């Protein structure tokens, strides 16, 4: 195994670049395409940490490289954790973010208990050992969308301690408190300490 290599299990070069910069630029990252992987990674465990582990295990077992995979979802308490692992395509409408949000708002109609959280799980295989990192941000689901920034469920999610949704924040403000940023910071601290 080439221990200087670290592969992020994503086929999206923009996502790879973004995560690379969040790792402080200290660690060059390779994406799936860089290692010749064009496979659709399995995501069938039914949980966010489970899917992160499943994807990272697939890359590790197939390519024997240091690698990590992430998975993110919105967990709404009144919906028993939905959309959770199905966040990307909750409305079964070709990953349409608008349709996903409208479905959430419809299911939440008349419900007062609106607590929710975003969860990002990252599973890392580092020198053959598996490590799990999690970033969580607590908040609540609003009655209607607000704001035009961000993506996905951002317009209906108001993080705890703020009077604005993620979609009403600029990117740097969201990145300072987001689930994804927290999980990546844990990953960064781990690999900087070990390398």
Residue closer to ligand IMP (CB basis): 44 or 127: 44
CA 136 centroid distance within chain:
10
Please identify which of the residues 71, 154, 170, 189 carries the catalytic annotation: 71
Place of tokens 């490289």: 65
170 an active-site residue? no
| Residue whose CB is nearest to ligand IMP in the complex, by number | 152
Burial category of 11 from C-beta neighbours within 10 Å (exposed 0-12, middle 13-18, buried 19 and up): middle
Note the maximum CA span of the chain: 55
CB 67 within 8 A of CB 7: yes
Q: Shortest gap between Cβ of 168 and ligand IMP (angstroms)?
A: 13
Q: Shortest gap between Cβ of 118 and ligand IMP (angstroms)?
A: 6
**What is the rounded CA–CA span in Å between residue 30 and residue 71?**
18
CB 88 within 8 A of CB 95: yes
Residue closer to ligand IMP (CB basis): 87 or 158: 87
**Residues whose CB is less than 8 angstroms from the CB of residue 64 and which lie 6 or more positions away in sequence, other chains included:** 1
CA 127 centroid distance within chain:
23
Residue closer to ligand IMP (CB basis): 40 or 129: 40
Residue closer to ligand IMP (CB basis): 91 or 191: 91
Q: Which residues partner with 108 through β-bridges?
A: none
Contacts to ligand IMP by CB under 6 A: 71-73, 87-88, 97, 100, 118, 150-154, 166, 178, 180
Q: Shortest gap between Cβ of 35 and ligand IMP (angstroms)?
A: 20
Q: Shortest gap between Cβ of 93 and ligand IMP (angstroms)?
A: 12
Active site residues: 71
């Amino acid at each position: 195994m080439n221990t200087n290599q670290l592969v992020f299990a994503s086929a999206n070069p923009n996502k790879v670049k973004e995560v690379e910069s969040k790792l402080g630029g200290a660690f060059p990252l390779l994406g799936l395409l860089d290692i010749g992987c064009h496979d659709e990674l399995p995501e069938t465990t039914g949980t966010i940490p489970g899917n992160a582990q499943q994807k990272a295990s697939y890359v590790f077992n197939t390519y024997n490289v240091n690698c990590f995979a992430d998975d993110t979802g919105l967990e709404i308490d009144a919906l028993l954790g939905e959309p959770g692992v199905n966040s990307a395509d909750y409305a079964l409408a070709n990953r349409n973010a608008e349709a996903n949000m409208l479905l959430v708002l419809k299911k939440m109609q008349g419900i007062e208990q609106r607590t929710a959280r975003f969860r990002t799980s990252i599973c890392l295989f580092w020198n053959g050992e598996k490590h799990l990192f999690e970033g969580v941000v607590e908040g609540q689901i609003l009655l209607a969308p607000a704001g035009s920034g961000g993506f996905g469920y951002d317009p209906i999610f108001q993080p705890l301690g703020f009077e604005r949704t993620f979609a009403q924040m600029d990117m740097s403000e969201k990145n300072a408190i987001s689930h994804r940023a927290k999980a990546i910071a844990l990953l960064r601290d781990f690999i900087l300490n070990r390398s």
